[in-house]
Amino acid sequence: MSDGRVSVVSKVAVVTGAGSGVGRAVALELLEAGWSVVLAGRREEALTETARLAGGGPPAPVVPTDVASPERVDALFAAVRERFGRLDLLFNNAGSFGPRGVPLEDLSYEDWRSVVDTNLTGAFLCAQAAFRLMRDQDPRGGRIINNGSLSAHVPRPDSVAYTATKHAITGLTKSLSLDGRRYGIACGQIDIGNAATEMTERMSAGVPQASGEVVAEPVMDVADVARTVRHMASLPLEANVQFATVMATAMPYIGRG
């Protein structure tokens, strides 16, 4: 095209936190399904590795982004608009657990703020930017899928910052779902329990339970999460998975306490 954009022959997605874990798995699943996927995250080298793992097909654009920075988020979505002219899906995935094993009374303000800035403010900024693009494009509309957590339902010990932000993500999901109706924007949330990623490597060694015990927990293949996101993303905009829970079958969630 004369304006430098690529010709849109597939749906366009932005995946944040695409350099590892769930974000990488979802990005690769969407690419395999024929989507054009913009890879966003803090670490350029990790994003480049995700793009390399995708193998054949058009290269996935890599856009290093700190989602807690309004300026960097604006730059990310400006790059999407410039390259593709539209956006069909935002997988709002970037997140941080924060320091592990720190009791609430010892958690520093800086650590609290860092988790809130990434998990909640970052998700809001990306959703807002995606919302504006989806509202103004032709044809109008799109889908936002927020990555929640089982911590959006019940906490783990010593996880106040992470748990509070994941509860807030549920409120964000509901508000986006309501406010997006007039623009044809659907929003849903996936709550994940114990997908096998770098973040959950410690599960096999044992993690603290509400009883005070330290117990090894089952995990599931992260590919099962990616397939679930792909299904949610593939629905027509007239249909929406509002909330989905995908978890290792035997993990201590049902009956936790």
User: What is the structure's pLDDT at 256?
Assistant: 61
User: What is the structure's pLDDT at 212?
Assistant: 84
User: What is the structure's pLDDT at 208?
Assistant: 84
User: What is the structure's pLDDT at 252?
Assistant: 86
User: What is the structure's pLDDT at 3?
Assistant: 42
User: What is the structure's pLDDT at 2?
Assistant: 34
Residues serving a catalytic function are 162
User: What is the structure's pLDDT at 195?
Assistant: 87
Q: What are phi and psi of 62, to 5 degrees?
A: -110, 125
User: What is the structure's pLDDT at 253?
Assistant: 86
User: What is the structure's pLDDT at 218?
Assistant: 87
Query: Going edge to edge, which strands form the sheet with 142-147?
Result: 62-64, 36-41, 12-16, 89-92, 142-147, 185-193, 243-247
pLDDT < 50 regions, the chain: 1-8
Nearest CA to 170 among 194, 195, 147?
Answer: 147
